[in-house]
Structure 1
Amino acid sequence: MSEQVRIGVVLLPQDRWSVARERWQRAEDYGFDHAWTYDHLAWRSLADEPWFATVPLLAAAAAVTDRIGLGTWVASPNFRHPVPFAKDVLGLDDISGGRFLLGLGAGGEGLDASVLGPPLPRGVRTRRFEEFVGLLDGLLRRPVTEHVGEFYEAHDARMLPGTLARPRVPFVVAANGPRTMRLAARHGQGWATYGPSFGPEDTDLPPARAQERWWAGLAGMVADFDDVLAAVRAEEGPDVGPQRRYLSLDGAPLYSLGSLDLLIEGVQRASALGFTDVVVHWPRQSGIYAGSERVLEQAAGRLPELRR
């Protein structure tokens, strides 16, 4: 019998806690397997809208839920240093009772890439991400860490008493290219992707054709990751590598909760490609991820069927 697909939901950090609290609790009551929020200082088209900090939001969500996994989708070194961030992760793991999932990404070229200084070229960001993930891994596994690298230093960095999750919190590493895929294969308990990005030549495609092009590109990415994982396992042993594969269905041109049928199709196609987990976004009233909470409620009522 094949394993059931787990289904998660992203709640953007835009609402005051007096509103957001009820939504995080509803995500658990609906039966979603995990719930996430973005880790940014500001984000794309929503830069001039309300946007709250990630760590206190997840801590609050952990305090008012009991079962659902909670995570960052995804944290990056654009404005994080591994040492203080590892302390935050330690706290989130503790408050959540070991339910925390650490989603990690290299960081893009968006607004918060330049808040602390000029943005780095892509190749430099990738090297920084490799060191970021490796240092976080060490910090969360050891009581005391010493490290001097290209981008970071850590001296007598103490992480006591350690995480409830063992040997540390699970890493869900976002990766689309060969170097970051290798990083996900070596350090991740999960591999995450938004799927392929479209270029200017794709913007005028009809929606249905763009959707099919996205799924075809995603199949190629899965094959690439399988190749990278096989190479890493040949070097380091058969037990290395993520056991779970996470797909943001909303990386596709069509919003996953545009209709229940579209969601069902997305979950089925993701499962056929080997994804163990899919992630959707809580509907917003307008703009990106605009949709109806009625579809979200319909999806919640069909979660057992969707998982199969």
Structure 2
Amino acid sequence: MRFGITILPEYRWKDAAPRWRRAEELGFDHVWTYDHLTWGGLQDSPWYGTTPTLTAAALVTSTIRLGTFVTSPNFRHPLALTRDILALDDVSDGRFLCGIGSGGGIDATIQGGPELTAREKVDRLTEFVELLDKLLTTDGVDYLGEYFETRNGRTLPGCVQQPRVPFIMAANGPRSLRLATRYGTGWVTTGLKSPDFDTWFASVVDLSHRLDDVLESKPFDRYLALDSARYSLTSVAAFEDIVGRAGELGFTDVITHWPRAEGVYAGSEDVLEQVAAEIIPQYR
């Protein structure tokens, strides 16, 4: 089992940098930040850009992997995103992970444009992933789709990680799951939204079985975002319980959130320290 933690991009860097360094010191395998223009859970909170945040994080860490949780086509074009990915992969010396999802929430319409149906979002995601894959592995790309276009998209020098950075793909439905297994090195899920933990976890079980049906026993990394129904770091026991359940389902990775002082993901850094010292080593 590998362990990840998400640090929201809400802090001034003088306050954020110690958290990113500490995540590495505590033994986490990967650390993430949200890739949104704004997030519905904290609309009134300060919010900083994903790419510069991860670039700065790469410079204050040396071994931990760094990722977007998750990048979407809501406000990203694959060609412009390719440049950011190439830079992040280079600055981090091959530690970048690209989380990708279909997009939704406030980001979907904050810059104008129509609200897409679920089918249209998967159509757009398919183009987005196909083109991004091509751009990261081929220099000089011509592409014309319904949602995206490039004309001789130049993408030198290529990724440090070959043939390209890993895609960790969020997916729930049959089409997006097939897309994830075709282009991704891993799958990430938050489960289906529910305030009830048992209902939420039942959705995680169901989604995991759907992935099994698509994979047909093919090895594939599975990432579970732990905090959708209840915050996993409310106590050491709560964290140990959900990690144990995830392991029984075959998840290879779990992701929690850095404790905040109040509101969403409110918790104690003492619990985080205790989990890192007592629980994470048990799963190595």
TM-score normalised by length of structure 2: 0.96
Residues 247-272 of structure 1, C-alpha deviations (whole Å, 9 max, x = no match): 00112x22100000110111111011
- Equivalent positions of 1:25-64 (< 5 A) are 25-64=21-60
Distance 1:116 1:96 in 2: 30
1:220 paired residue number = 206
- 2:98 is the counterpart of 1:102: yes
1:140 paired residue number = 136
Greater Cα shift, 215-224 or 88-97: 215-224
Q: Which of 133, 143, 160 is residue 156 of structure 2 equivalent to?
A: 160
- 2:267 is the counterpart of 1:291: yes
Residues 263-298 of structure 1, C-alpha deviations (whole Å, 9 max, x = no match): 011111101101000000001111111111111111
SS at match of 2:28: coil
Distance 1:248 1:90 in 2: 26
Distance 2:50 2:282 in 1: 29
One-letter amino acid of the counterpart of residue 61, structure 2:
T
- 2:117 is the counterpart of 1:131: no
The answer (yes or no) to whether the contact 1:140–1:168 under 8 Å persists in 2 is: yes
Distance 1:195 1:111 in 2: 19
SS at match of 2:227: helix
Q: CA deviation at 1:245?
A: 0.5
- 2:112 is the counterpart of 1:117: yes
Distance 2:236 2:279 in 1: 11
The answer (yes or no) to whether the contact 2:240–2:279 under 8 Å persists in 1 is: no
Distance 2:41 2:61 in 1: 30
Percent pairwise identity: 51
Greater Cα shift, 141-150 or 296-305: 296-305
The answer (yes or no) to whether the contact 1:31–1:303 under 8 Å persists in 2 is: no
The answer (yes or no) to whether the contact 2:3–2:280 under 8 Å persists in 1 is: no
When the two chains are superposed, the root-mean-square deviation of aligned CA atoms in Å is 1.3
SS at match of 2:164: coil
One-letter amino acid of the counterpart of residue 101, structure 1:
L
- Equivalent positions of 1:222-261 (< 5 A) are 222-230=208-216, 243-251=220-228, 253-261=229-237
1:206 paired residue number = none
Q: CA deviation at 1:197?
A: 2.1
TM-score normalised by length of structure 1: 0.89
SS at match of 1:163: coil
Q: CA deviation at 1:175?
A: 0.6
1:83 paired residue number = 79
1:302 paired residue number = 278
Distance 2:159 2:224 in 1: 26
SS at match of 1:52: coil
Q: CA deviation at 1:304?
A: 4.2
Distance 2:41 2:145 in 1: 35
Distance 1:217 1:124 in 2: 23
One-letter amino acid of the counterpart of residue 165, structure 1:
Q
One-letter amino acid of the counterpart of residue 150, structure 1:
E
Residues 143-183 of structure 1, C-alpha deviations (whole Å, 9 max, x = no match): 22111111111111111110010110000000111111111
1:207 paired residue number = none
Distance 1:214 1:64 in 2: 36
One-letter amino acid of the counterpart of residue 116, structure 1:
Q
- Equivalent positions of 1:1-20 (< 5 A) are 5-20=1-16
Distance 2:139 2:80 in 1: 14
| Count of paired positions | 283
- Structure 1: runs of 5+ lacking an equivalent: 204-209
Q: CA deviation at 1:303?
A: 4.7
SS at match of 2:244: helix
Distance 1:306 1:173 in 2: 27
Q: CA deviation at 1:217?
A: 2.1
Residues 123-145 of structure 1, C-alpha deviations (whole Å, 9 max, x = no match): 21110011001110110011221
SS at match of 2:243: helix
The answer (yes or no) to whether the contact 1:264–1:306 under 8 Å persists in 2 is: no
The answer (yes or no) to whether the contact 1:142–1:159 under 8 Å persists in 2 is: yes
